[in-house]
Structure 1
Amino acid sequence: MLLKKNIPLKYIFGKIKYEIALVAIYTLVIVILHDRFNLKHMAIPLSVPMIMGTVLSLLLAFRSNQAYDRWWEARTIWGAIVNDSRSFSRQVLSFIDDAAYDSEEINHFRERMVRRQIAWCYALGQSLRGLDGKDGLDRLISKREVAHAAKYANVPMALLELHARDLKYALKQGWLNEFQQVTLDQTLSRLCDAMGKCERIKNTVFPATYSLYIHFAMNFFILLLPFALIEYFGLIEVPLVVAIAAAFLLIEKMAIHLQDPFDNKPTDTPMTTISRNIERDLKQMLNDHHLPETVANTDHQFYVM
């Protein structure tokens, strides 16, 4: 996720540097041909690109809104994951009275459940980004559980299954009553629903024809723009056309990046950062003082992953 400060111009204009170079060369060629050969017939009425620009602006605004809705939905889902992870851990820690049972066994059970929930958050984020969901989980869960998760194509789903097995075991042992087990299972169901919503966003491609038509219309608008300004500005139209084209191109690039919130880019939903915050909160609930360190990346301070 991009932060409010320190976003370098190199990052912003680096997304469109080749397009801007082509626009500058194209416009310069038009100006040279017009001035050297005095081709007055090359000019077109300014109203033509103005009308196209107005329509294109509306289409780009609509597309940007739709892309932002996808990004915001992803962020909202991860906000719910934070709440449900805290609720699940609180329920696990508070429902079981360790004074009535073998304290060591109960403590091991509760710690295993909470740590597995932390691992689930990391595994989900990595899986959504197309990375190995098992990477780094061995510091949170046992090797046996990592080996179990390796058998599944969907690692987060495997961890939820282990949650369900442990809840069933706790019910049989009498550590939980049926009402408590149902309450915990409902929390797991909400986590599973959140995972499914993320996968829906990840696997639903933004309509390709819609993006393609807008891209073609924008390119046609940029191609016409030098012919409409040539009579008014001459050589000055080169930076002017470049500036106008850059504005449209940047809006299009912004929409392209926002429409895929799980694509392992700086504009992503900050799933790793959110998972790290969940780990911090849940470990504090366990009275574990080995908290995750705050990552300070001096080279990329303008975004968090």
Structure 2
Amino acid sequence: MLTTPNIRLSRIIRNTWKVDLIMLASCTAAYMVREFLIANHFSIPGILPTLLGTAIAFFVGFNNNQAYDRWWEARKIWGSLVNDSRSFARSLVHYTGSEKEISHRMIRRHIGFLYALKSYLRGAINDDTPTRYLSEHDEQEIAGASNKHNAILSLQAKDLQQLSAQGHIDGFKFIELNEMLTRFCDAMGMSERIRNTIFPTTYSYLTKVFIWLFVVTFTLVISETAGVFSIPLGWLISFVFVSTQINGMSLVDPFTNNSAGVPLNQITRTIEINLLEMIGAEEVPEAIKPINGEYVL
């Protein structure tokens, strides 16, 4: 996630240079066709790029709105995980009294759950961070599970039942803590839904095609009066549309490990620090710092 109000020009160029070259070549080809093939035969009506520009505005606007909705929903889900995680740890610490072994184990296991969920969402199969907070017994229990973060929640439910059976928490506290586990499961499911639901390919594909057609017809039309300057003018218009479209599409997969995604590293580290401090852990990691003072992952 970007943390600065301004974006460096170098970053914009890195994200768009390939499309810029394609559009520049298309503008040049359109000018050459107009100049040497159709200049003396017929002219392109100006209404054509106008209609295409209107259609593109609808497509780009729809794509960007839907992409931002996906990103914002993902951010709200992980924002709720921050609050619920703090409440979960605080309740375990204060509700269980002198019984620290199980409660501290559950808090550490919850950190492992968050890291396991983050690894799944980002496709980091070989990430061993979750195991740092799991006991050897826990690792054996979830070894054969295809969904390890869900298996960790099952272990949490077992320990919660044990706290209740041993009389460390009463029925009301048990219900409250179990509801938190349910909320963790809900957040997990909603995150998985966003990750596994592909944004309709036709929308992004047709938007690219329409932008290309618009740039070509725009260059053909203005080349009658602007001459060779229609090439840079056509590229400039294409740069505006392409940059807007790429900006929206960068939010389609909010859990990707890039500067536009939800900062899962920062969020999980924040929860990790807060929970470890609650149980008085000796080793607490440092907070995630922005990369180059520009973005966090």
Give the TM bin, normalised by the shorter chain.
Answer: over 0.9
Structure 2 residue aligned with 1:246: 239
Measure how far apart 1:37 and its partner are. 6.9
**Is 1:163–2:152 an aligned residue pair?**
no
Change (3 A) 1:232 1:166: same
CA distance, structure 2, for counterparts of residue 141 and residue 208 of structure 1:
40
Structure 2 residue aligned with 1:268: 261
Which residue of the other structure, out of 275, 279, 303, is the alignment partner of 2:295?
A: 303
Matches within 5 A, 1:116-131: 116-131=109-124
Measure how far apart 1:83 and its partner are. 0.8
CA distance, structure 2, for counterparts of residue 154 and residue 242 of structure 1:
48
Measure how far apart 1:289 and its partner are. 4.3
Letter in 1 for 2:277: Q
CA distance, structure 2, for counterparts of residue 147 and residue 41 of structure 1:
78
**Is 1:3–2:3 an aligned residue pair?**
yes
Q: For 1:118-162, what per-residue CA distance to the aligned partner results, in whole angstroms no more than 9, with x for missing partners? A: 111111111111112762123222222123222211111011111
Letter in 2 for 1:112: R
**Is 1:68–2:61 an aligned residue pair?**
no
* More divergent stretch after superposition (144-153 vs 189-198): 144-153
Which residue of the other structure, out of 77, 84, 107, is the alignment partner of 1:114?
A: 107
Contact map agreement 2:63 2:249 (CA 8 A) in 1: no
Measure how far apart 1:263 and its partner are. 2.5
Measure how far apart 1:65 and its partner are. 0.7
Structure 1 residue aligned with 2:137: 144
Contact map agreement 1:133 1:155 (CA 8 A) in 2: no
**Is 1:175–2:168 an aligned residue pair?**
yes
Change (3 A) 1:29 1:52: closer
Matches within 5 A, 1:212-291: 212-291=205-284
CA distance, structure 2, for counterparts of residue 135 and residue 162 of structure 1:
19
Matches within 5 A, 1:97-108: 97-98=97-98, 106-108=99-101
Change (3 A) 1:4 1:185: same
CA distance, structure 1, for counterparts of residue 6 and residue 274 of structure 2:
28
Change (3 A) 1:281 1:213: same
Structure 1 residue aligned with 2:79: 79
Measure how far apart 1:36 and its partner are. 5.9
TM-score (norm 2): 0.92
SS in 2 for 1:16: helix
Give the unaligned 5+ runs of structure 1: 99-105
Change (3 A) 1:27 1:185: same
Percent of matched pairs sharing the same residue: 34
Change (3 A) 1:13 1:147: farther
Which residue of the other structure, out of 181, 190, 193, is the alignment partner of 2:183?
A: 190
Change (3 A) 1:37 1:199: closer
Letter in 2 for 1:63: N
Q: For 1:175-228, what per-residue CA distance to the aligned partner results, in whole angstroms no more than 9, with x for missing partners? A: 111221111000100110011011111111112223333232222212212101
Change (3 A) 1:11 1:147: farther
TM-score (norm 1): 0.90
Letter in 2 for 1:15: N
Letter in 2 for 1:48: L
Structure 2 residue aligned with 1:18: 18
CA distance, structure 2, for counterparts of residue 212 and residue 37 of structure 1:
30
Contact map agreement 2:59 2:207 (CA 8 A) in 1: yes
Measure how far apart 1:253 and its partner are. 1.4
Letter in 2 for 1:139: R
Total equivalences in the alignment: 297
Give the unaligned 5+ runs of structure 2: none
Letter in 1 for 2:245: E
CA distance, structure 1, for counterparts of residue 135 and residue 78 of structure 2:
25
CA distance, structure 2, for counterparts of residue 29 and residue 216 of structure 1:
16
Letter in 2 for 1:20: D
CA distance, structure 2, for counterparts of residue 44 and residue 81 of structure 1:
56
* More divergent stretch after superposition (272-281 vs 35-44): 35-44
Measure how far apart 1:114 and its partner are. 0.9
Letter in 1 for 2:124: L
